[in-house]
A and B are shown apart, each in its own frame.
Chain A
Amino acid sequence: MKKIPQPIEHILDKTFDRMESFVHSHKKVNFLFGALFSAFDGLLRSSKDTAATQPFIRNNYDVKRFMGAVLVALVIGWVFPAVYFYGWQCVISKLMVSFIVGVFVVDVLWAIIAQEEHISEGGFVSCLLVPAILPPQAPLWLVGLGAALAIIFRNVLGGVGHNLVNPAIFSRLFLTICFPSFLVMGYQTPFTGMPDLHSLRYGLDAVTHATPLTLFKTNGEVASFFSLLLGTSGGSLGESCRILLILTGLWLIKIKVVNWRLPLSYLSSVFVFSLFFSLIVGKSVAPPIFQLMSGGLILGAFFMATDPITTVYNQKAKWIYGAGCGFVTVLIRDFTTLPEGVMYSILLMNLLAVPIQSLMVKIRYRA
């Protein structure tokens, strides 16, 4: 993809120019498709704006590339392994439903109604996360509803840059409240072994099987760390293959899309608190390594707690934020009837982000 032949590029460029002038010169077309066109155009071409004030040169790094990196990381981190473990029919159909409902229907409609200039790529990330945090056997309408809820919710709060809490998690919470049975039951054992024709349709007729965390809650069974790491032990669609999630998360840290403080403080606080509680309370609390490697923790720590808009801005506050997430996660997992607490902890800390931020700013500039 390094070199695109000059003529093709030229023709594409001309076509886009023509389409642009067509869209802009027809009021009705612009109203209906302007948003969609500009989003597509924005993906393929740079913007026209030049810097009007100092500094007159700007760095070659914009929010679009930010989101692009997260998308790539998520595709490698959960879509690929999920296709292997649960079959492509299960995964791809959910993704398509999520994207079509979330981005192409709800977001475009919203852009039309609210007369926004463009739809944002932030929606892609949310829509990619929604199926990932639902069980593999969640029906398609549930995925569509989740994506729609996430996007509506984000837009109502003012769009990218203003959402107080992570939209994907919020919609998952909403679904848990409305349709608890689907979200508690739909887990299954992942496929393992060499993929064959049958395995492609695997997700459709598999038997349900509880997640490792639920198993621990009910009969104290600890899954093997190896199976947790590789993802052969079941769970939500996107959280299982932890080794890939960790690798892509580290890549995001390396290219500075993800701030390393958050995953580090989150994961280490889960470790510290679960160690602390298991020393005090004993066997009824899951052991630290098991807690680190199970549930949605890795996905949450690298991809959801770090969602740049919903976290705190101050660097020191990030440590507190991450530690808070870890503490709440361990509390919910160990001392409530719920098996998993990552979503709730991130949601809670999202809400606490503003107070933590203003507190840290006050402390820093107290003088």
Chain B
Amino acid sequence: MKLFNLCKKKEIPGFHGGFNLLEAYPIRFCNVIEKISSDVAPKQFVFNAPQQKVEQVIVNLCPTEPWALPNWVTLAHDTSSFLDKVVALRARCFPAARVAIAISEKEGKHVTEAIKYAGNTDWMTAHPLNPKYPQNDPVVLSKVVLHAEVECGADTTTQGILILDAQTIAAAYESNVLGNKVNSRFVAVSGTGLKENEVIRVELGATIGKMLGGRFKANGTHRVFVNGPLCGREITDLSQEIDWSVNNIVVLEALNVKVMFPMIKQEEMSFTTNILGEVRQCVYCNFCDDTCPMDLEPALYYHSYTRGEGHKARSYNLGKCIECGLCSFICPSKLELLQTIKACKALD
């Protein structure tokens, strides 16, 4: 059966493994809230083209995390006028660069429009991609779109590759081409700890607490994550200011109570920080290497590390790991694989 599937499903340009988070956690954003203002003078967004020569720009229109800012907020259902902005920005900031539009294949109308638009130029290409996580990670994106090898954690601009998301392009167009001031951005807020999933336009410099004010559900303990619960960071101090790097905020219930009959309550259980199981020994189930986008074997690192041979992990291609966190996410024994990987990487 599996064999049959393998033959049938020819993967559209991409990688093995990965995980479709969009299907697992369907999050819908309905309303856009206009402008939450900052108490202090809002900061300005400035777009500086990198020092190095930009040979290749990748426009990342392929969000793979359901809690990330959706494309329609900036694209406003009009791909051509967005691509006009890309053209103008290219002419102004990096005239020699080739542009690759990486767009989720699920967005049918946008894909056809982008392909048509790109066909009229000889420096723009459109790449429909399978929106499974971590397709839009810089390393994976450069590999899939450009067949370029980028090291994990390295700055891609040193290799002449510049990766921009939709909102940065819109803002850079406003400030660098039109000369307007940009001091606010959209932030997607979602999660089980909030009353509603919303997109909020917020001035840079406003605190996270102010933005979330009054949006929490009344009961339960909440945990707040910046840029997603998968690879983002947890914050406890809500007085942090929002800057341009904040794409989304997720608030989850901690759910530190026991729940009756978890097997039949998958929907309500799944989007919490509960680990949904007990920590066990590794059972060699191969889930971790099946899902690893870089074709690594995370359990090997785990076993090396627990045996006190963490230095050995390096010889098993540890450097290729992009720290996407999928191995920890998927492990049925609930092992802290990502933490072990980071510990191994820190060993020398």
Minimum CB distance partner of A264 in chain B: B3
A361 proximal to B (CB < 8 A): yes
B37 proximal to A (CB < 8 A): no
A64 near B336 with CB under 8 A, answer no
Q: How many residues of B contact A (CB 8 A)?
A: 63
Within 8 A of A (CB), among B24-77: 24-25
B237 proximal to A (CB < 8 A): no
A253 near B223 with CB under 8 A, answer no
What's the A-B contact tally at a CB cutoff of 8 Å?
178
Give min CB distance, B266 to chain A, whole Å: 6
Within 8 A of B (CB), among A308-332: 308-309, 311-315
Q: Which residues of B contact A12 (CB under 8 A)?
A: 260
Q: Which residues of A contact B308 (CB under 8 A)?
A: none
B329 near A50 with CB under 8 A, answer no
Within 8 A of A (CB), among B228-244: 229-231, 233-234
A260 to B285, CA, bound (A): 11
Stretch from B80-88, B201-209, B251-259 that touches the partner: B251-259
Chain A, interface residues (CB within 8 Å), range: 35 or more
Known interface pairs A49-B279, A55-B329, A161-B281; A365-B261 also in contact (CB < 8 Å): no
A162 proximal to B (CB < 8 A): yes
B198 proximal to A (CB < 8 A): no
Q: Which residues of A contact B300 (CB under 8 A)?
A: 313, 361
A66 proximal to B (CB < 8 A): yes
Q: Which residues of B contact A49 (CB under 8 A)?
A: 256, 274-275, 278-279, 334
Known interface pairs A51-B275, A56-B252, A311-B284; A4-B264 also in contact (CB < 8 Å): yes
Of B261, B277, B285, the contact of A47 (CB 8 Å cutoff): B277
Minimum CB distance partner of B19 in chain A: A59
Minimum CB distance partner of A313 in chain B: B284
Known interface pairs A56-B234, A162-B281, A313-B297; A46-B276 also in contact (CB < 8 Å): yes
B168 proximal to A (CB < 8 A): no
A4 to B265, CA, bound (A): 11
B280 proximal to A (CB < 8 A): yes
B3 near A45 with CB under 8 A, answer no
Q: Which residues of A contact B2 (CB under 8 A)?
A: 253-254, 260
B229 near A55 with CB under 8 A, answer yes
B339 proximal to A (CB < 8 A): yes
Minimum CB distance partner of B3 in chain A: A260
Minimum CB distance partner of A308 in chain B: B283
Known interface pairs A56-B273, A260-B3; A9-B230 also in contact (CB < 8 Å): no
Give min CB distance, A51 to chain B, whole Å: 5
A308 near B272 with CB under 8 A, answer no
Give min CB distance, A78 to chain B, whole Å: 21
Known interface pairs A1-B264, A57-B272, A63-B333; A309-B258 also in contact (CB < 8 Å): no
Of A41, A50, A159, A160, the contact of B254 (CB 8 Å cutoff): A50
Q: Which residues of B contact A47 (CB under 8 A)?
A: 258, 274-278
A17 to B283, CA, bound (A): 30
A55 to B232, CA, bound (A): 8
Of A50, A60, A253, A311, the contact of B269 (CB 8 Å cutoff): A60
B316 near A361 with CB under 8 A, answer yes
A184 proximal to B (CB < 8 A): no
A57 near B281 with CB under 8 A, answer no
Within 8 A of B (CB), among A239-256: 250, 253-254, 256
B277 near A64 with CB under 8 A, answer yes
A313 near B1 with CB under 8 A, answer no
B230 near A16 with CB under 8 A, answer no
A252 to B24, CA, bound (A): 21
A12 to B259, CA, bound (A): 11
Known interface pairs A50-B273, A54-B325; A259-B264 also in contact (CB < 8 Å): no
A16 to B258, CA, bound (A): 10
Q: Which residues of B contact A315 (CB under 8 A)?
A: 286, 289
A-contact 0/1 string along B321-335, CB 8 Å cutoff: 000011011111110
Chain A: residues with CB nearer than 8 A to chain B? 1-2, 4, 9, 12-13, 16-17, 41-42, 44-51, 53-66, 68, 118, 120, 159-162, 250, 253-254, 256-257, 259-260, 264, 308-309, 311-315, 361, 365
Which 10 pairs show the lowest CB-CB distances between chains A and B?
A161-B281, A62-B277, A46-B262, A55-B325, A56-B229, A45-B258, A308-B283, A55-B230, A50-B273, A260-B2
Q: Could you name 18 residue pairs across A and B whose Cβ atoms are closer than 8 Å?
A: A16-B258, A16-B260, A49-B275, A56-B225, A56-B252, A58-B276, A59-B331, A60-B270, A66-B283, A66-B285, A118-B278, A160-B281, A161-B283, A254-B2, A309-B283, A313-B300, A361-B300, A365-B316
